[in-house]
Amino acid sequence: MLTAKPDTTDSSQLVAPSGLRGRWIALSLLLTITVINFIDRQTVSVLAPVLRQALHLSNEQYGRIVAAFQFGMMSGEFPMGWIMDRWGVRLGLAGAVLWWSLATGAQTVTRSGFQLGLTRFWMGTGECGNYSGGMKAIFRLFGPKQRTLAIGILNTGSMIGATLAPPLIVYLARRYGFRAAFLVPAALGIVWVPLWLFLYRDPRAVGSVRSVATSLPDLLRQSSTWAVMLCRFFIGPVMQFYWYWIPSYLYEARHLTLMQVGFLGWIPFFLGDTGGIAGGWCAGWLQRRGVGIYNVRRITMYGSATLCIASLAVPYIRSTFGAFLAIGIAVMADNFLSANMFGAVTDLFPDHAVGRATGLTGVAGGLSGLLFPLLTGYLIDHVSYAPVFLMVALMPLVGTALLFIVGRQYRRPRQV
């Protein structure tokens, strides 16, 4: 049964001190840092054709660099979640952003695939804090009927970042050299930190509300923990494939130039922008009409997972426009799905465990994100892109099914 311990600290029992300038301003800051985060992540994938030539990398070697970042994400997920739960989002997220921004800047001085992989690992140990911190803040700032929309808006930052990255990174690389393209997102992260520290304060509990500690063994004994971890294990690598491999696919298989990749590569992610917001809005709309949260998640997640199958057609469509459209539909559906996947974490876990629960799902996503790029690189070098598109077409449906198979029902959602 999909269950969680009774919540002792919900958002109705939290008040924002005077330092917080409104929940939507806080959400806009979280959206902004998510955009910056995903520009950071996309820099290597957009520059992949140039980096492979400059550093003499095969697809398998490039896959290892992607895997190094994912290993960093996996390694940092639970520690970052613990920091957010223990220190609060204000200090925890500020520290995470500084840490990964320094790593992003350090990539400008790398001279080999090993060095690039090492700095990407470093960057991953910090960037995983974006979601554990963002989820924690949203849980505390928004009620149940608004949370999935807020999560969808936060998650849309990944699509906005992926949309902006190709033209921005290609412009910087052509104008100032590819190494300079790492400096701009690093600087943006450093500039964001003082704004966050000035504008945000962690909401505090009122009355006699007391947070009950939940240990790691306690979390791992809950079926809800394994349900969301398995879900993210299969869903997480899908979007990572689109972020890290689509520029290379367009360059190698569709024979687009680097300029064309920069000019057109943002289109699928622009379509994806709508998916996260639509996923959150749809969940809230269903809840307002009396649909139970369990059925809300089933409707939104199974429906969007089915649409992800559109990516199966990509390698067989002759028209580049048609391929872009199929990729765009799949990206939009996966982002719709992700908003509700993260929403499931806030359904199932109390305030004092949200950061660590999100971190544990990130560990699962990081493990699959570590393995999947290695398999992707091997398949592309030895077979083609076709079996990879087959996997990313079906993995969302597998992950969604496991969420509801491992855990059979949600607990009653908190009322605000």
The span from the CA of 356 to the CA of 139, in Å, is: 13
pLDDT band at 409 (very low <50, low <70, confident <90, very high): low
**pTM for this model (two decimals):** 0.70
179: left (phi over 0), alpha (psi -120 to 50) or beta: alpha
- State yes or no: pLDDT of 304 exceeds 50: yes
In a domain, 363, yes or no: yes
Cβ neighbours, 10 Å, residue 283: 28
Domain count, the chain: 1
Examine residue 209 and state whether it is found in any structural domain, yes or no: no
**401 belongs to a structural domain:** yes
Residue 2 lies in a domain: no
57 has a pLDDT exceeding 80: yes
Q: How many CB atoms lie within 10 A of CB 183?
A: 15
Cα 258 to Cα 297: distance, rounded to the nearest angstrom: 40
Helix (H) or strand (E) holding 177: none
Residue 3 lies in a domain: no
Give which of 144, 283, 284, 200 is closest to 28, Cα–Cα. Answer: 200
- Does residue 198 belong to any structural domain of this protein? yes
355 exposure class (CB count in 10 Å sphere: 0-12, 13-18, 19+):
buried
The CATH number for 261's domain is 1.20.1250.20
Does residue 70 form part of some domain?
Answer: yes
In contact, 245 and 45? CB cutoff 8 Å: yes
Domain that holds residue 256: 11-204+214-406
pLDDT value for 356:
77
- In this structure, what DSSP letter does residue 178 have? G
- What integer pLDDT is reported at residue 112 of this predicted model? 86
Quick one: average pLDDT of 88-105?
Answer: 93
What is the C-alpha to C-alpha distance for residues 313 and 319, in angstroms, rounded to an integer? 11
Q: Rounded distance, CA 351 to CA 373, Å?
A: 33
Count of Cβ atoms closer than 10 Å to residue 302 Cβ: 16
Q: Is the pLDDT of residue 21 over 70?
A: no
* Residue 204 β-bridge partners: 15
Radius of gyration of the chain (CA): 20
Element (DSSP H or E) covering residue 256: none
Residues 184-217: pLDDT tens digits?
889 999 999 999 999 888 776 544 444 455 677 7
What percent of the chain has a predicted confidence (pLDDT) above 90? Answer: 24
For 45-62, give the DSSP string.
HHTHHHHHHHHT--HHHH
Residue 324 is predicted with a pLDDT of: 84
Residue 1 lies in a domain: no
Nearest one of 270, 268, 246, 250 to 259, comparing CA atoms: 250
